[in-house]
Structure 1
């Protein structure tokens, strides 16, 4: 019985042995390649021969690959190995296969082929194939003891220029202030105190810089960069004998706060920014745009870093693995008129608000201003903690870019409401409405809510309603148009649609028109209507272009006179409304009569947008005025000034816009 049992076990063993699959070196190497493509370096190590493992630990192997791939910005690695049906190497103890590598790096494409050696080894009483790895598997030229080198060349950043070629953001020089620690001697504490005051750094910040691991007694330690225009501070720094100053390259903003929000500034890239821009050729030492057009067009302005990856041999020689030539950034030319930009900014005189100028025939943006502002040169060189805190806590919010923000337009919307009403037949130019008193409501269902107006007039036609800016007339007009037709009419002027523009703007919105009160208020630019100042100017261009709405442009090489909305209003209505807006300025009763100038006929519309929680309470008011040169039709200016309550409302903006036109006429 026992003999039969042993015989049966022997047969089973032979059968099992015959059915078990012998290890195949091709399949084994294919598994290794698959792990490599997935960058699972720790698992790749398990495939190494015993001899290979003696030369490098698992931690060293994994960290080396990871560091190389991160430092060289290796992306999209493709390691390929083609199996052959005629391969007979499985019968022996050794095998070799050729694999190909193709990958992108910071210095461009890296391609090579290399031969891999495999050995059959027994582990845990099982035989299998293992990769006899060495450093040439990383790069064929990389021998044991060699080092991988990476050098980068920063491109020259492109400049930003106005329409006449004047620099709005240029490459220049500043002073880098620092000290040589060994020269401080017993003056150290006194010098640090003086530097702390002059550079607006804390003593701890200075001591931290002086105590960095790389610092040596005879090495210059940079502390802060100072603008060459800061002459008084430079004189004081020069007087401190141990202090040294060197000229270094830096981004310069000649027009300072006047164009800060539009142009923006640059600064050192952060770890978060580097992660977001992964794969785009950025490095940890790069300077990038932080806001404004510097940020929007950063890739164009920055250019592309030059990079070279080398293998540094023990004898001092080098092998170049990949090299990418530096590409300087491209200049950006704007339609902006820098003189007009400065004049408009100065005219705001620190008021909270926004202003813009445009050629309404071509759509060219001639100025784009946000006030109050900040000095982008100082932002570039670095605000002190106190300076940054003061900017953030300033109630006028100098860091806010107001020309991209939406505001309630108030009465500057009325010409658009008029156009929609004329198109829909809700009003006619001749039709007059009987309006008594200074307040009105549709019916008693409105409760205590009334639409109010400033001037008494009865009856009121379209021209008088525009000249006197009659809220009641336009509230009734919106109700006659109806919510659906009114919303559709506004969309015909690009509401609820992103305005294609190089600088990102908030999309102008309509809000709710479901209730009669909301619809009535929206007719004269209140309710939930919101629009930005660039859109407002674009919405007025049909008045000068036979009803076509022109797309605003900011880049000098963009096509001019592009039609954004074909026949936003009819040619006939455009001429009619424009003639009425001339009377808003020329008529002695017109709300913008203060802007009337001899031999310089302006047309325009005022607006006072009220922002409050409920009727009867005191809120805040923003004053608008938009005007254009009726004679030459080459300049339109719009302005909104915040907080004009008890200061004359829109008259604040009227006076300022008049001053702007008077300087350019």
Structure 2
């Protein structure tokens, strides 16, 4: 019996011990360890999950803070969003028990944050406290303001100030501003001053609408915005008249600093304009540089030179007390103002050439260039828009006028590529002379106004305007004979023809990236199309698949002025100093250059020359004219574009111009006559 009792007693002891062990083990499984809470805290902080962050705090500390969960989340979000914190990388040590208290730990950690001022790396300390929960013991964090930023105390705030740089100016060669800071008059309405009753208010609205030519619906929409109060100024539009007629009740005026463009339409396509950022702009901003209400270049140099012009934002992140006094600076960076960009453009030439080209509402372009140093003196595209209106905002009627204009005022024509037509014959002549196929006195006997090589051309003919039986190179340039140059190109063959013309600046955009200039072409794909003799013949007089920009056309004539050197066009004054463009290169001999130049002089001086109207200028010029016809099929009537390239014998300028749709208006003669007044006074 005694042995039996001993066995039972031992068994009971074992079971009790095992039960206690199991209880302790099970309890430990449901007790959260400090490391678990720490890892959750790090994860929520790095992912900026402020809702979950709130749940990790002790209820007592949150109650003491006086914040609801919504206020807690909002506080973190406002501060971290204000600093533009994109990433947080937490580096934590090991939790350390508080002496004599096994229910508390402390943890030191750093949180590297990427802000709009770069990286900051504040050092923190938090306290973990063990608490009871429905699932056993758990660890929570004692919240305090210093968990946002280390030096924060109750009542403190984080002040974030963004320092905006001054946008750089765009200047002409003489320092005259083409894009600068200016002041406009902005008119608006103070609703409480419209009148005391509905009848008076309605009469005031009608009077304002009629005076400023703004629909009443537009005014009502502006006044209906949620933020509007009776004593608030509600901006409606801009005006050049700062004085307010006494009968206009409720109208108020204030000045506003904006980007302005002194040349207006005359340089619109070159300079472009700025607008406030849109949601699309912010979405495309991979740098995270822009915010709502920032200004950004939307066209022209304002867009292509945006980074240089905008500068770099600065800022200051600091902790301030309840009185607004600064306690500590977390990060500070001075703003860097944008660069001033000086162009080679002459404001007076730009304005005068635009006025010339824009008359009669013509669509076209003109490029004025110094042929010895490459400086672009004027880049004109017509019709144009007013960039100042683009900044201050277009009315619906103004926008409709631009949008419905068949001449497309937003199209930049000095970078547009055209079939150059007969002006290209000068280059074909230079290629033929270089390849020893063409000579000045080489005569072609041509009968009639049409020619084809043989029956292999089918029904295709090259046509010309003037029926001359015996034609040499000078005659062909002077009278602009298509057939002569078509025959010369066919005789040269594809290989020699391409070798002769390619060196004139094809397949390059001369380093003019800022203008989004595309290289010119003489064939669509790999030059294989020129295996067709028909296309080779057409290309010789600037048709076929050839496309050239007015800028390239101006540059392509520089070898005839500089004894054979192709001068690359430049737009920025510092390029003239650094020559950061493709090197100028002699591409033809001085003899070839002079031969073509002398022929182009006869285009003006000879009474039968196509540019003879320029012979009465007070200085001597050479020129080449041309008309290119665009049509879908032979026999159809197509759009005709007229071209003129002219330069003076003193080598001070070369001018290339194109006017679209000269059908029935004299072709290239119309362009010559249009340019005549400008050339008459230009020196």
Fold shared per TM-score above 0.5: yes
Give 1:128 deviation, angstroms.
Answer: 6.6
> Is residue 2:110 matched to residue 1:100?
yes
Alpha-carbon spacing, 1:99–1:577, altered in 2? closer, same or farther (3 Å): farther
> Is residue 2:347 matched to residue 1:338?
yes
Q: Which residue of structure 2 lines up, in the alignment, with residue 450 of structure 1?
A: 461
Which residue of 606, 613, 623 maps to 2:625?
A: 606
Q: Which residue of structure 2 lines up, in the alignment, with residue 623 of structure 1?
A: 642
2: CA distance between counterparts of 1:137 and 1:362?
64
- Corresponding residue SS for 1:585: helix
Alpha-carbon spacing, 1:483–1:470, altered in 2? closer, same or farther (3 Å): same
Give 1:95 deviation, angstroms.
Answer: 3.1
2: CA distance between counterparts of 1:617 and 1:557?
49
2: CA distance between counterparts of 1:344 and 1:645?
23
> Is residue 2:191 matched to residue 1:208?
no
Q: Which residue of structure 2 lines up, in the alignment, with residue 507 of structure 1?
A: 519
Alpha-carbon spacing, 1:126–1:524, altered in 2? closer, same or farther (3 Å): farther
| Structure-to-structure mapping, 1:120-131, within 5 angstroms | 125=135, 131=141
Give 1:387 deviation, angstroms.
Answer: 1.1
Q: Which residue of structure 2 lines up, in the alignment, with residue 550 of structure 1?
A: 567
Q: Which residue of structure 1 lines up, in the alignment, with residue 438 of structure 2?
A: 427
| Structure-to-structure mapping, 1:184-263, within 5 angstroms | 184-185=194-195, 186=197, 187-227=200-240, 231=241, 234=242, 237=245, 240-263=248-271
**Which is worse superposed, 526-535 or 454-463?**
454-463
1: CA distance between counterparts of 2:230 and 2:442?
88
Whether the 8 Å CA contact 1:638–1:657 is kept in 2: the answer is no
- Corresponding residue SS for 2:573: coil
Whether the 8 Å CA contact 2:30–2:137 is kept in 1: the answer is no
Give 1:21 deviation, angstroms.
Answer: 13
**Which is worse superposed, 44-53 or 565-574?**
44-53
Alpha-carbon spacing, 1:21–1:182, altered in 2? closer, same or farther (3 Å): closer
Alpha-carbon spacing, 1:131–1:246, altered in 2? closer, same or farther (3 Å): same
Q: Which residue of structure 2 lines up, in the alignment, with residue 397 of structure 1?
A: 408
Alpha-carbon spacing, 1:555–1:608, altered in 2? closer, same or farther (3 Å): same
Which residue of 543, 551, 556 maps to 1:534?
A: 551
Give 1:402 deviation, angstroms.
Answer: 1.4
Give 1:245 deviation, angstroms.
Answer: 1.5
* Cα shift readout 1:297-331 (whole Å, capped 9, x = no counterpart): 23333334443334343344334433333443332
2: CA distance between counterparts of 1:11 and 1:433?
119
Whether the 8 Å CA contact 1:25–1:89 is kept in 2: the answer is no
2: CA distance between counterparts of 1:240 and 1:469?
64
2: CA distance between counterparts of 1:158 and 1:180?
35
Q: Which residue of structure 2 lines up, in the alignment, with residue 282 of structure 1?
A: 290
Give 1:79 deviation, angstroms.
Answer: 2.5
* Cα shift readout 1:207-238 (whole Å, capped 9, x = no counterpart): 233333333333333222223xxx4xx55656
* Cα shift readout 1:69-97 (whole Å, capped 9, x = no counterpart): 4433224x35341546x978999544333
- Corresponding residue SS for 1:557: helix
Which segments of 5 or more consecutive residues in structure 2 lack a partner in the other structure? 1-10
Q: Which residue of structure 2 lines up, in the alignment, with residue 651 of structure 1?
A: 669
TM-score, length-scaled by structure 1 = 0.87
Which residue of 327, 337, 342 maps to 1:328?
A: 337
Q: Which residue of structure 2 lines up, in the alignment, with residue 268 of structure 1?
A: 276
- Compare CA radii of gyration and give the structure with the larger one: 2
Alpha-carbon spacing, 1:113–1:452, altered in 2? closer, same or farther (3 Å): same
Alpha-carbon spacing, 1:183–1:25, altered in 2? closer, same or farther (3 Å): same
Cα root mean square deviation, aligned: 3.6
Q: How many residues align?
A: 656
Alpha-carbon spacing, 1:52–1:609, altered in 2? closer, same or farther (3 Å): farther
**Which is worse superposed, 98-107 or 367-376?**
98-107
